Amino acid sequence: MPQGDKSAYTAKQKRQARHIAESYEDRGVPHDEAEARGWATVNKETGGGNLSGSGRGKPDTHVSSSRGGRAHKSGSFEQRSAAARKGWDTRRARERAAGKV
């Protein structure tokens, strides 16, 4: 199979790569780079082409899409809640010091 041939990929994998590439393009990445990133992501998650006779058998990992578009979460729920309370208290204290309240 020549390099760049996508015949070993399932329709689902091709669709995933296309959607990932479109997402990158929406964020301003050039078309060729977005397409390369899309296929790299599909390869990382699925281990390459999954059509019959193309090395099937490894489970999909979904490591690249585990965040699902959410912002990076640092720390546990309790840590994030404590940081939010601290920010609220800081803003409230600064308003009082400025005489707004």
Total Cβ atoms within 10 A of residue 92: 12
- Contact (CB, 8 A) for 6 and 14: yes
Q: What local confidence, expressed as pLDDT, does residue 86 receive?
A: 95
- pLDDT, tens digit (0-9, with 9 covering 90-100), for 51-94: 776 556 667 777 776 665 555 567 788 888 899 999 999 999 99
Q: What local confidence, expressed as pLDDT, does residue 99 receive?
A: 81
Round to the nearest angstrom and report the end-to-end CA distance of the chain: 71
pTM flag (> 0.85): no
